[in-house]
Chain A
Amino acid sequence: MSGMIGNDPTPREAEGRYLLDVAELSKRFPLGRRRLFGKAAPAMVHAVDDVSFTLARGETLGLVGESGCGKSTLVRLIARLTDPTTGSIRFGNRELSALPAKAFARDPDRARIQIVFQDAGESINPRFTAADAIADPLRQLRGLGGDALREKVEEAATLCGLPLALLDRFPHQLSGGQRARVGIARAIGPRPDLLVLDEPTAALDVSVQVTILQLLVRLRETLGISYVFVSHDLNVVRLLCDRVVVMYLGRIVETGPARAVFDAPLHPYTRGLVAAVPRLDGLRADALRLAGDPRSPIDPDPDACRFHGRCPIGTGRCGAEMPKLRRFDGGREAACHYVEAA
């Protein structure tokens, strides 16, 4: 049984400590259409800007931030669905950033990075049954067919708590929770080493969310997969993740062990974020309220902190000098001029 479930294709010790090592990764989108002979460079949306982090084997990394902060772009970059503008993505022993996303579709490492999409209903082909959806990556990436394929499909469904009787159903005939299970079964089918979870519970009822989160925890233990977990539910991130990366307008503002970051946030943005979590005992005394809207991500001032203008403690220095990520005790980092050791 354990041999069947094990993650045999990848030698664990051969590739060093980090599964994923992202360095100075940036993604900029040109705004509007580039003219053929246009002289002026088009305005650029800085979706992801100079992002560096690592993911150790077996670790779960949380990725939080408000809508539009570049989480989804970062997810697409890590999963190699889009090509980065600059920077490196090191996966195991390989540098993946130079490989075009189109070519990566048939790469042997494709099977090792899988995604669980935010909206399972929309990410399953409406013309595919649950079994077809789960079988698709197994057929493409692992070259399975016939009985071996059916066996693997049923194994993945069972692992994800999906009754085999539902395998013949189309997505519109399944409930939200069942669809989420199909999405997860499809992603773990090829036995990835890295599973990117893009707000996997955002579209679900609260009662179903819990069972799906429990499933994810169980799968992590059984299969030894590393997770990048994107969510804006801070309580979930705190429970599920070892470390957390907080993003604001395309840049990392704070990273560190999840518990420490949420108990004693360093960066003013994280403090505002944590204070915004609904609590039964009312607002904390030192709560920081976030007001206003983020600055525009279109050609932002390279010498100003992205949080400047919305930051309750910002000064003139923040508008003239971009704060760099500084190290603090306990493996924490924060990008703010005014943070003192916690």
Chain B
Amino acid sequence: MSAAALRHARHVVSENPVTGFALGLFVLFVLAALLGPSLAPHDPLASNTMLALQPPSAQHWFGTDQIGRDIFSRVLVATRLDLGIAAASVALVFAAGGFAGLAAGFFGGWVDQIVGRTADTIMAFPLFVLAMAIVAALGNTVPNIVLATAIINFPLYVRVARAETTQRREAGFVDAARIAGHRDMGVLLLQVAPNILPIMVVQMSLTMGYAILNAAGLSFIGLGVRAPTPEWGIMVAEGASFIVSGEWWVALFPGATLMVAVFCFNLLGDGVRDIVDPRRRT
């Protein structure tokens, strides 16, 4: 099974170079997140005002910021925090939104009403403003950023899971599962859930990009991670004021890294679907 899956994954990657490229980027980001602090050439927090606002050089690849910190090291070290927040929020909303959508689509009736109205209520707010409000109300901590990011993605997951489930609620294999002795929860979790998994995984990959943007966005406006912690959003915010005076590298490198990360996850979405969907397996 795992050997066959691996072979299939290799086939998909070789057939679709864009997926291979995205996968390569993804591996780089994961490595940076895991090993970032030990790979960083400089201490991301050490300031040296003698070296403030130096352009990119062999010594400082991405240049230095206004108090002389090495931007490359800061970008590298920030990867763990940014990806961690995004991954945690996506995992949370995948579990909560996925299950709520499954139950809504499968049981219908009042379960559907409650889940549907909750999702509608969240959708009624401008999502980024809602995330700001949640973080502002609950406090400026990493768990609250994770929670806020998960909440604004909740309706998306509910809708996808619900739509996919209603399509399958009347499927023959659901009857077959009942004949085989499964109760509602068994049918839901063991029979229907694996069938909507591919589309949910694609959803995860896509929202992962938005989750990174959202976390960085909150930090950018000062409602997220606080300085001096290295984080892409804060770094862009700090660097923004120097663009006018010509020190473009302070904002550009963290901003570009952020963009590449979002881009990578969006590209990966389609590739992941091909890998996890057994109907594409030949």
Chain A residues with CB under 8 Å of chain B are: 76, 79, 81, 101-102, 105-106, 110-111, 113-115, 117-119, 122-128, 133, 136-137, 140-141, 168, 170, 172, 186-187
Contact = CB atoms under 8 A, between A and B. Distances in A.
B58 interface: no
Contact of B183 (A76, A79, A105): A105
B279 A136 contact: no
Contact of A170 (B179, B183, B197, B281): B281
B176 interface: yes
A119 B172 contact: yes
A341 B194 CA distance: 58
Interface in B173-211: 173, 175-184, 186, 191, 194-195, 197
B143 interface: no
Nearest to A115: B179
B279 A140 contact: no
Given A125-B195, A126-B278, A127-B195, A110 B175 contact: no
A127 B194 contact: yes
Contact of A117 (B175, B184, B195): B175
B34 interface: no
A127 B278 contact: yes
Interface of B: 1, 171-173, 175-184, 186, 191, 194-195, 197, 278-279, 281
B173 A140 contact: no
25 contacts: A79-B179, A102-B184, A106-B181, A110-B181, A111-B181, A117-B175, A118-B172, A122-B171, A122-B173, A123-B173, A125-B177, A125-B191, A125-B194, A126-B195, A127-B278, A136-B180, A136-B182, A137-B181, A140-B181, A140-B186, A141-B180, A168-B1, A170-B278, A170-B281, A172-B278
Contacts, number: 74
A81 B171 contact: no
Nearest to A129: B1
A102 B183 contact: yes
Most buried by A among B171, B172, B194, B281: B172
Nearest to A138: B180
Contacts of A111: 181
Contacts of A101: 178
B23 to A, nearest CB: 23
Given A119-B172, A124-B173, A126-B195, A172 B179 contact: no
Q: Tell me the dominant secondary structure on chain B's binding face.
A: helix
Given A136-B177, A170-B278, A123 B172 contact: yes
Contact of B182 (A105, A115, A170): A105
B181 A141 contact: yes
A19 B266 CA distance: 59
A136 B187 CA distance: 11
Contacts of B173: 122-126, 128
B111 to A, nearest CB: 15
A195 B194 CA distance: 28
The 9 closest A-B pairs by CB, nearest first: A123-B172, A140-B181, A137-B180, A122-B172, A127-B194, A125-B173, A141-B181, A123-B176, A136-B180
A304 B176 CA distance: 37
A254 B175 CA distance: 29
Contacts of A186: 176, 180
Contacts of B176: 115, 117, 123-125, 133, 186
